[in-house]
Amino acid sequence: MRKHCLWIPIFFCIWFIPLVVHSSSNQETLTKKDIQSLPHEEIDNNELDSLQYVIEMQEFSKDIFNRFYQLWRLPLFVNLSHDSQQSIDQLNILLKKYDLSVNLKKKEGHYFNDHFNKLYNNFLTTGKLSLFESLRVCATIEDLKIFEINVLESKVDNSDIKLLYKHFIQYARKSIQKIHSKLRYYDKDLGRNMWLW
């Protein structure tokens, strides 16, 4: 599994963020009007594959967050799931704008990309160990989003896709701040311990 460390800047994050259900939605959320306002540009097969990958990533993360809420009843997990669904909704607006479609999962834990099937099983197993481990899994998922979407964004040309990807990276960074504040409640000396990598 790839190794990268984005934990150092986390110590400079805002530590106290409200965790009321649904109030955690990012303030700089893209609206349908924002997505539709840009002119139509060609979307090639590689960009469509990229959208397929990202929407499955968001579906996978939403499923994990929902399962963790069922296990631990921590409202933060509902907030994270809501943010993932928000990203899925924005991707669907873009797909509808271009009259495109992608393959979606048939049920929780089963995805077209086997990478997410493996991550789902491994992360769920780890998250069942404790609430602390569940939070570490969530931090790792959001870190994964930042890394992979940043790579994907650098390889696409379509302005709509670039706009969405840049916002998804911002969303993930804000989510890490929220997770970090909770993790510090359980581990005051939290450092590399935050990540599963």
- The pLDDT value recorded for residue 169 is 97
Give the chain's radius of gyration (CA, Å).
16
- Residue 2: strand, helix, or coil: coil
List, for residues 82-105, the tens digit of each pLDDT value: 999 999 999 999 999 999 999 887
- Domain ranges, residue 126: 46-99+112-194
List, for residues 17-60, the tens digit of each pLDDT value: 333 333 344 446 788 888 888 899 999 999 999 999 999 999 99
Kindly state whether residue 94 falls inside one of the protein's structural domains. Answer: yes
- The pLDDT value recorded for residue 32 is 85
Kindly state whether residue 123 falls inside one of the protein's structural domains. Answer: yes
CATH of the domain at 65: 1.20.1260.10
How many independent structural domains does the chain possess?
1
